[in-house]
Amino acid sequence: MSSYPDDEEVVPFDGHAGSFPKEFGYGAFDGDHDVTLSSNNEQKPRILLMGLRRSGKSSIQKVVFHKMSPNETLFLESTNKIVKDDINNSSFVQFQIWDFPGQIDFFDSTFDSDMIFGGCGALVFVIDAQDDYMDALNKLNITVTKAYKVNQNIKFEVFIHKVDGLGDDFKMESQRDIHQRANDDLSDAGYDKIHLSFHLTSIYDHSIFEAFSKVVQKLIPQLPALENLLNILNTNSAIEKSFLFDVVSKIYIATDSTPVDMQSYELCCDMIDVVIDVSWIYGYSVRDEQETTAFDEQSSSLIKLNNGTVLYLREVNKFLALVCILREDNFDHKGVIDYNFLCFREAIQQVFELRNKHQSMTNSSGSPIINGKNIVGDTHMNSSFIDETN
Residue 195, pLDDT > 70, answer yes
Q: What is the pLDDT of residue 278?
A: 85
Half-sphere exposure of 340 (CA within 13 A, CB side): 26
Where does the pLDDT of residue 65 fall: very low under 50, low under 70, confident under 90, or very high at 90 and above?
A: confident
What pLDDT, on a 0 to 100 scale, did the predictor assign at position 285? 61
Phi (first) and psi of residue 161, to 5 degrees: -100, 165
Question: Tell me, what's the pLDDT at 83?
Answer: 81
Contact 86, 27 (CB under 8 A): yes
> What is the tens place of the pLDDT at every residue in 285-327?
655 555 555 667 778 899 999 999 999 999 998 888 999 999 9
Which amino acid belongs to residue 363?
Answer: N
Instruction: Please list, in sequence order, all residues whose beta carbon lies within 8 angstroms of the beta carbon of residue 16, skipping any fewer than 6 positions away.
Output: 22
Reduced to 3 states (helix: H, G, I; strand: E, B; else coil), residue 370 is coil
Residue 49 pairs in a beta bridge with 99, 124
Domains and CATH numbers, the chain: 46-219 (3.40.50.300), 222-281+295-360 (3.30.450.190)
- Does residue 270 register a pLDDT over 80? yes
- Going by pLDDT thresholds of 50, 70 and 90, the confidence category of residue 389 is low
- The model's pTM: 0.77
Q: What is the pLDDT of residues 341-383, one digit of tens each?
A: 999 999 988 887 877 776 655 544 444 333 333 333 333 444 4
Average pLDDT over residues 234-248: 92
Residue 35 Cα to chain centre, angstroms: 22
Q: Average pLDDT of 256-279?
A: 90
**One-letter amino acid for residue 120 of the chain:** C
